[in-house]
Structure 1
């Protein structure tokens, strides 16, 4: 499975994640998050990354213009968008995007467009990094090959995902030493497990 390490706030964590084999790095542009980073600070990290590592900006209920502007300033290649309030005009985005489904029940997953990729996270009152898991039984009889799974993942529970064939996994709190600071050993173990090692 591909791995995205989300909530990157500093260069050391970014470089460690890449060295350990992360496919993508996530940067949180939601000001109320303890993992929030400014576009300028994110750009300083992005400019030092090697090629072929995807950079993903996380946005919550923002306009398309705001997302376009921040992605341009920060060097994001993709936007990951929570749009609970219908603020985002997706057709006006200048980059690839991944829509976030904050699942409350299995019914939230049954009518997804099978041609699109989605990130599925557990619904929580706040946004992101709460460590809550989506019930895996909701994915029974659903094609998960275009789903990125997030929420409550860590190295010890990745084995349970194997039979579902998710496209990728997205982890934040599960590989942290503290909010906004990653634990290199946790990242190493997580990426190894995701790769079947």
Structure 2
């Protein structure tokens, strides 16, 4: 997100996390649009999350300080050591993994002590989300060392069944492109309905 009023409107829905993308090649890049004062207006209970791709430790630290971020969501080839350093600097860390088959989960092993959460998404040739539905059946019968965020093409119609269809209960659901009217701009009514439906389950 990056529009001042749209951010404040979503915040009124009391989400647990709000994301701001700091990957310059993303159509949702917030770095040259987002006003740091906007994120400072958000209540502390909302985890203000910077989304990064192969950024350096200093870049993430400086951006987090500027925009009052509490969480770093990493979508590149970031090392476990970088994740640990970010945590040592007071940031909560979400490490994203693109999964095509169950064996792809092996990549999470070296991060089990390095981050707070995993995020599972659909593979794409580009960094970041594809907007395509994630194959939740990949998670059937596995044991994870960290709670996880479920991502990948989640849309409004998934609200009533997604928690039953996913073999393992996710810690959080990451919604994005299917709830937008334009890149980085959320459709408030559909987000509100989704959150209410999920929280009633």
TM-score tier, shorter chain, comes to 0.7 to 0.9
TM-score (norm 2): 0.84
Per-residue deviation, residues 10-60 of structure 1 (Å, max 9, x unmatched): 122222212122111000000111111117834121111123111000000
Spell out, residue by residue over 1:135-168, the C-alpha distance to the aligned partner (whole angstroms, 9 max, x if none): 0110111246711011100121233322331100
Structure 2: distance between partners of 1:30 and 1:52: 25
Instruction: Note closer, same or farther for the CA distance 1:27–1:71 as it changes in structure 2 (3 Å cut).
Output: same
Is 1:96 aligned with 2:92?
yes
Per-residue Cα deviation, 1:109-146 (whole angstroms, up to 9, x for no partner): 25634665201111111233431122011011124671
Q: CA RMSD in A?
A: 2.4
38-47 vs 158-167, greater mean Cα deviation: 38-47
CA displacement at 1:182 relative to structure 2: 1.0
Corresponding residue of 1:5: none
Matches within 5 A, 1:143-154: 143=143, 146-154=147-155
Alignment gaps of 5+ in structure 2: none
Choose between structure 1 and 2 for higher RCO, CA contacts under 8 A separated by at least 6 residues: 1
Indicate the larger mover: 84-93 or 125-134.
84-93
Following superposition, the deviation at residue 80 of structure 1 comes to: 0.4
* Superposed structure 1 runs of 4+ greater than 4 Å apart: 85-88, 113-116
Aligned length: 190
CA distance in 2, matches of 1:42, 1:69: 15
Counterpart check, 1:196 vs 2:196: no
TM-score, L = length of structure 1: 0.85
Cα gap change, 1:39/1:73 in structure 2, threshold over 3 Å: closer, same or farther? farther
Deviates more, 1:126-135 or 1:57-66: 126-135
Q: CA deviation at 1:83?
A: 2.6
In the alignment, what sits opposite 1:67? 60
